[in-house]
Amino acid sequence: MKSLPDSVQGGIEFAAELFCKAKRAVVLTGAGLSTPSGIPDFRSEGTGLWSRQEPLEVASMNTFRTHPEKFYAWFRPLANRIFEAKPNLAHIALAELEQAGRIHSIITQNIDMLHQKAGSKNVIEMHGTLRTFSCTQCYEQTDARAYLQPFVEKGEIPHCPRCGAILKPDVILFGEQLPQKACFEAQRDCRSCDLMLVAGSSLEVLPVAGLPMQALDRGAHLIIVNNSPTYLDVRADAVLSEDVIEVIPAIAEQVLNG
């Protein structure tokens, strides 16, 4: 791990102090937490998924209903990245903090399951998951593991074992509502936490971007770790504009080992 500037080290120590004092800490993670694991984000210029294709043309429910093969052609390279990705040091550090009782829950915008692979248990997936597929006709839900590998390796579009219709991954596409249960749990945890850590999210996508405000409005402290500025930097107790795989493990080390 590289040596960090004194100003950043001071921010890490302050963030660790807030964690040590917190009774109920909640984490919100975005795509920036998984880019070190090789999964591209959506909005970075030149590398983000939406810098190359118009999202409504490939990742909307309308496209899936009318041209599912177009969606799956776009989705296959991303699914391959997710299929092969491993948790990075930031995922592992957050799992260690949760296991030590320092984190109550992790709210994530990511669909890659890397938090769970790292060992986190209480993960609220706001944009759905690749763990399961659902039938577009009979609504049968099935485990994704039997379909992901043939899809990634051979491009085989998954079909329902019951009725034969095309299966849809249980991820949220444009034109779909967020999962009601996840929204309820996320709002509940944000309104009851006394510390919120935002990691790897630019806080640009509503309604998830509004969750930290719910915590702030109820007196919670806020730590932001993100490479680019967010609209809540001015309200945060600590803003660390450094790489998540450097900062998050350093905070965890301070909290767990002093």
Give the residue numbers marked as catalytic: 127
Are 164 and 104 contacting, i.e. CB atoms less than 8 angstroms apart?
Answer: no
Tokens of 87: 């948790």
Are 24 and 122 contacting, i.e. CB atoms less than 8 angstroms apart?
Answer: no
Residue in the block written with tokens 């929204």? 183
Q: Cα dist. 179→37, 236, 238 in Å?
A: 26, 28, 31
Q: Cα dist. 2→9, 82, 247 in Å?
A: 12, 27, 10
Tokens of 21: 């004092």
Tokens of 55: 């999202």
Are 192 and 107 contacting, i.e. CB atoms less than 8 angstroms apart?
Answer: no
Residue closest to 107 by CA, chosen among 203, 233, 216? 203
Chain-centroid distance of CA 191 in Å reads 19
